[in-house]
Amino acid sequence: MKILVLHGPNLNLFGRREPHIYGTTTLAQINERLQKLATELGVELDILQSNHEGALIDFLHEHIDAAQGALVNPAGLTQHGVPLHDAIKAMPFPVIEVHMSNIAAREAWRAHSIISPAVKATVQGFGPHSYLAALRSLVESLREAAQTA
């Protein structure tokens, strides 16, 4: 089973950017933890971080027939990424929106996600654990769906 992980704009700065909100865990550490969990779950991850919306969309398109699910942290595209929203909706597999912080508890302009209507679920507010909870939940739901199919 292949799961995509997409990290949006500025997430390469995790660990340095606003540590009072996002903590000090780096993106490399998050990816390391995800890879470890993926190994335990017996799944393969394909991970991309990009500061460019088009690269994230291209990554989804390139894997449309190869992936079974995806985790997406749209970051700054959460409120404005209409093309990313449309690309996610076009995917034949479930996508989980992930955020380190609880965006609903932050600034009013940040609280609304235009990505959320395109995804199966959202996991947010648990710092780096948001990614791990999302991966575990996605894999378990895919396995349950396969058993009932």
Catalytic one of 7, 63, 85, 99: 99
Catalytic one of 22, 63, 85, 131: 22
Residues in the chain: 149
**Does pLDDT of 14 surpass 80?**
yes
The whole-number pLDDT of residue 4 equals: 99
pLDDT band at residue 102 under the 50/70/90 scheme: confident
User: Which among 49, 67, 57 is positioned nearest to 4, based on CA atoms?
Assistant: 67
Fold for 2-126, please state it: Rossmann fold (3.40.50)
Q: What are phi and psi of 97, to 5 degrees?
A: -85, 130
How many other β-carbons are positioned within 10 Å of the β-carbon of residue 71? 25
To the query of whether residue 99 is one of the catalytic residues in this protein, the response is: yes
Are 25 and 128 in contact by the 8 Å Cβ rule? The answer is yes
Model confidence, pTM? 0.95
Digit-coded pLDDT (tens) for 115-142: 999 999 999 999 999 999 999 999 999 9
To the query of whether residue 112 is one of the catalytic residues in this protein, the response is: no
**How many contiguous H segments (helices) and E segments (strands) does the chain have?**
5, 5
